[in-house]
Amino acid sequence: MDLFDFPDDYSAGFAVLVGRPNAGKSTLTNALVGQKIAITSNRPQTTRHTIRGIVHREKFQLVLVDTPGLHRPRTLLGERLNDMVAETLSEVDVVGFCIPANEKIGPGDRYIAQQIAASGNRPVVAIVTKADTVSQQELAEQLIAVHQLGEEVMSAERAARTERKQRQNTSSKKKNQDKAFQKGTGPAAQRKKQSATQAPAANDGRGGWADIIPVSAVKDFQVEEVSNLLATFLPDSPPLYPEGELTDEPEVTLVAELVREAALEGVRDELPHSVAVTVEEMNLREGRSEDNPLLDIHVNLFVERSSQKAIIIGKNGSRLREIGSQSRKNIEALLGTKVYLDIHVKVAKDWQRDPRALGRLGF
Ligand SMILES: Nc1nc2c(ncn2[C@@H]2O[C@H](COP(=O)(O)OP(=O)(O)OP(=O)(O)O)[C@@H](O)[C@H]2O)c(=O)[nH]1
């Protein structure tokens, strides 16, 4: 199938997965797309860029946007991440709210639910992730808790919004009374206006959610069901991307993410926030035969303090060598060519709080 040849009932559109750090968003994105696109890590907040994975099926194309964990901002970087999430929320057709099966619903989940509810009228599917980590009984209890969260937060916020809208309508009605007999103020025009401002009843389903579904991305339990469910909220549309395209992130971004992922493997908690990677150069080595190409990649790995640089480099450079060989393997798998990877570790003091440094690093 190409962009001009698709079934009549084809649909295509955008979905975003949100959820607190470590909720399993990246792992689910990868499982849905079927290739390692978004980086995963057992350290929270490792996803920085809005990476799209594209799920191609016979009847639909689901473009997934992976967001950083929505959280209360602590630094300037935190604020920019949250801005990105808010912007994304307003642009998609459906929101998938990921809540891990094995963690109690807390203030973090409530905060995110409020943000989603306040951001508009997108249908929100509650996805209970990591279903393999709990018993059937515990999973059932979590599904009930998620249902209750929906009733408490989603329904309440949406009811409040409808009320606000109605109040606005009544006050504008009063103003309009003075303008009787003017064109566009009669009952027919009023009805038309009202139906245009009425919110679509997208979340009247299950406890404020459009739906609730458990999934395990690791054990491949219900992954296909999640993509089918999200697809039901997509508009009729021709495909948005050519078949076979899995992401529209530029390769350099994916390469930088893979190096970052390797650098974060097994390090202390405070380091993830302090590491940023930029690709300085990515060129095919000259003079190699066509059937045996080699890609030269030079990256800068930024940390905030020299003590962190020491952690990254390790004893006699041992950690840096590990980082290099691990990320090289993943880059080669992603790009399908042999890679020569050169990593420079640099200190950029307090880059998270410095707007200019953030700009340079692509945030
Ligand atoms: N057992 C199990 N573990 C999972 C599953 N999905 C994710 N995990 C693990 O949970 C951890 C976090 O997963 P991620 O996919 O990185 O979470 P995230 O929500 O993208 O995290 P941030 O990037 O920090 O926002 C990783 O260690 C995953 O291996 C699952 O279905 N089952």
Residues 255-270 have a mean pLDDT of 79
Nearest CA to ligand 1 atom 11: 42
Quick one: which atom of ligand 1 is closest to the CA of 45? 24
Q: Residue 275: which domain range?
A: 251-360
Instruction: State which of 14-18, 101-105, 152-156, 194-198 shows the largest mean pLDDT.
Output: 101-105
Q: Is the ipTM of this complex over 0.85?
A: yes
In a domain, 130, yes or no: yes
255 and 216 belong to one structural domain: no
User: What total of structural domains would you count in the chain?
Assistant: 2
- Tell me the three state secondary structure of residue 295: strand
The answer to whether residues 304 and 208 belong to one domain is no
Whether 238 is covered by a domain: the verdict is: no
The verdict on residue 4 lying in a domain is no
**Structure-token match 């499982």, residue found:** 31
Confirm whether 72 is domain-assigned. Answer: yes
Q: Is residue 160 part of a domain?
A: yes
Q: Domain of 119: which CATH number?
A: 3.40.50.300
Average pLDDT on 135-154 reads: 93
- The pLDDT of 103-107, averaged and rounded, is 92
Assess contact for 320 and 314: CB atoms under 8 A: yes
Cβ of 155 closer than 6 Å to ligand 1, yes or no, is: no
Please, where are the H alpha helices in the chain? 25-33, 76-89, 107-119, 136-149, 156-177, 187-197, 223-231, 251-264, 306-313, 318-335, 355-360
- With respect to residue 186, please indicate whether it lies within any of the assigned structural domains: yes
Q: Is the CB of 69 under 6 A from ligand 1?
A: yes
Q: The CATH number of the domain where 264 resides is what?
A: 3.30.300.20
Tell whether 243 is covered by a domain.
no
So what's the pLDDT on residue 94? 94
Residue that is written with structure tokens 């739906």 in the block: 211
State mean pLDDT over 243-268: 76
On average, the pLDDT of the chain sits at: 78
pTM higher than 0.80 for the full model?
A: no
Neighbour tally for 302: CB within 10 Å? 22
Residue 201 and residue 272 share a domain? no
pLDDT tens track for 168-195: 777 655 555 544 444 444 444 443 343 3
Same domain, 34 and 123: yes
Residues 59 and 196 both lie in one domain: yes
Average of per-residue pLDDT across 311-319: 91
